[in-house]
A = this chain, B = another copy of it.
């Protein structure tokens, strides 16, 4: 691959060979409900704790993604996963049931893109032929870790976002490995149902193969925002920086892409992103949407929208990739953002450093 002014251009364009999403009840009642592979209505997912439930969401997303591609764990050379929990335990506890070489990553809500970029890089280098990437979040684990125990019933300001309970997982594969047989792996959906209420079968037609064309790892941007209930404002400058630099380095324009999906800027952050890019002469117009805005209806009482690693991961590995497979989108930018704070840094009155990673995903 090549690095052109920070844009990473894949020589072999790793394919997204398979993908799956698993979400909670509220997400399963939202506008994207038909695109999730699993909707687990129990907040505990049948486990003893919310943390174990989050791991279960990731385990489920990974298992379904492997099943849909008909992969055994021996077929996978690398697992690259992350989440929001302290010490990233949702991922490590989820992945201990797999004997796959494991790389933990942390990019807050941008984790899914970071995981995919590092995995694709490993595939390009020859270190891996196939890699599984996953990210997760859970409303109940995030609330008590970042903010207050749920029992407090704390009030949320209008700028606050609602952490998505969900996980997305995908299998990246080196291009030479794609045989006519595995090429249609995603197509041959043989998803076992958890039970009739909790599962959706994909409606499969003739799918378009999907691949990673290029990517860009973000830099840490700190605009001195200190309000942890306004993550969108903290993260928008990072998204603007990464998108602007990617467009410049690739000499492309917004209209060259069917859609630019940010991760979880929410309504407030999305407006800021438009303003920041507008100041630089980049008009997003109708070609921008935000996973945090898409995943919930306004009447679901989530204020500024959804957030969390699981937000963009489940929207990507559900709605977006399905819409690429059916040909609705052929060329998109996936740009999740992450707020690199912790409750300790907030209490210590530090500002919120943020980051945005970008992937250009294309369908043939």
Contact = CB atoms under 8 A, between A and B. Distances in A.
B345 A51 contact: yes
Contacts of A106: 82, 87-88, 104-106
A341 B51 CA distance: 12
Interface string A319-355: 0000000000000000000001111110010100101
A219 B87 contact: no
A105 B102 contact: no
Contact of A95 (B8, B98, B220): B220
A135 to B, nearest CB: 13
B102 A104 contact: no
Contacts of A348: 48-49, 51-52
Given A92-B353, A96-B220, A103 B118 contact: yes
A77 interface: yes
A87 to B, nearest CB: 4
A341 B217 CA distance: 28
Interface size range of chain A in the complex: 35 or more
A106 B41 CA distance: 30
A340 B89 contact: yes
A194 B191 CA distance: 61
Q: Most B CB atoms within 10 A — which of A82, A342, A353?
A: A342
A223 to B, nearest CB: 11
Given A1-B125, A127-B121, A104 B219 contact: no
Nearest to A99: B219
A232 to B, nearest CB: 18
Contacts of A103: 105, 107, 114, 117-118, 217
A127 B1 contact: yes
A102 B84 CA distance: 17
Interface in A72-115: 77-78, 82, 84-89, 92-93, 95-96, 98-108, 114
A97 B218 CA distance: 14
Contacts of A89: 340-342, 344-345
Nearest to A114: B103
Contacts of A88: 106, 340
A128 interface: yes
Interface string A215-233: 0111111100000000000
Nearest to A215: B127
26 contacts: A48-B348, A52-B348, A82-B106, A85-B342, A85-B344, A86-B344, A88-B340, A89-B345, A92-B220, A92-B340, A96-B221, A96-B222, A98-B220, A99-B219, A100-B219, A101-B216, A101-B217, A101-B218, A101-B219, A102-B218, A102-B355, A103-B105, A103-B117, A104-B106, A124-B126, A124-B127
Give me the 7 closest cross-chain CB pairs, A-B, nearest first.
Answer: A125-B125, A92-B340, A101-B217, A87-B342, A104-B106, A124-B125, A96-B220
